[in-house]
Amino acid sequence: MEKGLIVSVSGPSGTGKGTVLAKVREIFPECGQSVSVTTRSPREGEAEGVAYFFRTKEQFMEMLSSGEIIEYDSYVDNLYGTPAGPLVEMSEKGTDVLLDLTIAGSLALKERFEQTVTIFLLPPSFETLEKRLRERGTESDDIIAKRLSEARNEVLKAKQFDYVVVNDDLDEAVRKVVSIMEAEKCRYARNNGIEGRI
């Protein structure tokens, strides 16, 4: 059986990754989701085990040293990591998995699993990014400033990704991510045994 794709999307905070990925999931409801572990405190309305498992730094470091976390990164004073078991299991079973990771996270998965496809989501401009972060209203001015400064460094790393999508228009960005996934599934190398059907 072919392994499922590991589609990892990165991009500066406020680019709209969450919104784009939620729409892509509506189109591919069979897509698997990886629930990350984080040392960040839950935001209002964030329940344990939905988007994240919330852990202390000590608990996080324990999971890391026991190999339970397959990649991790530090982002604006917190740690974020992908649990190994569920991701490997889903992909081995042929289930495609869609992830929203930092740049280092996407690149680490690409190194580790040949079935990884990396997509960099770009904001149309820095002004849009700042406006989106402020409108979201979930972070303080200090954190927004840190996220914006991080965003400038991040955009320089887009060239290490397989694909780049500008999130200017939501539907258009969703269509592009879906097209990338469809095309990747059609790669000859991912269709073992096709000769038998010809």
Contact 99/7 with Cβ under 8 angstroms? yes
Task: Give the amino acid at 190.
Answer: R
Instruction: Output the CA angle 139-102-6, nearest 5 degrees.
Output: 130
60 binds ligand 5GP, rule: CB under 6 A: no
13 makes contact with ligand 5GP (CB under 6 A): yes
Least separation, in Å, of the C-beta of 152 and ligand 5GP? 15
Cα–Cα–Cα angle for 136, 175, 157, rounded to 5 degrees: 65
Considering the rule CB under 6 A, would residue 109 count as an interface residue with ligand 5GP?
no
Our finding on whether 123 is near ligand 5GP (CB under 6 A) is no
Structure-token match 């887009």, residue found? 158
> Is residue 40 close enough to count as binding ligand 5GP by CB under 6 A?
yes
Torsion, Cα of 131, 136, 140, 143 (10° steps):
-70
Select the residue interacting with ligand 5GP from 4, 14, 32, 105 (CB under 6 A): 105
CB of residue 80 to ligand 5GP, shortest distance in Å: 4
Q: Provide the binding-site residues for ligand 5GP, judged by CB under 6 A.
A: 13, 36, 40, 71-73, 75, 80-82, 100-102, 104-105
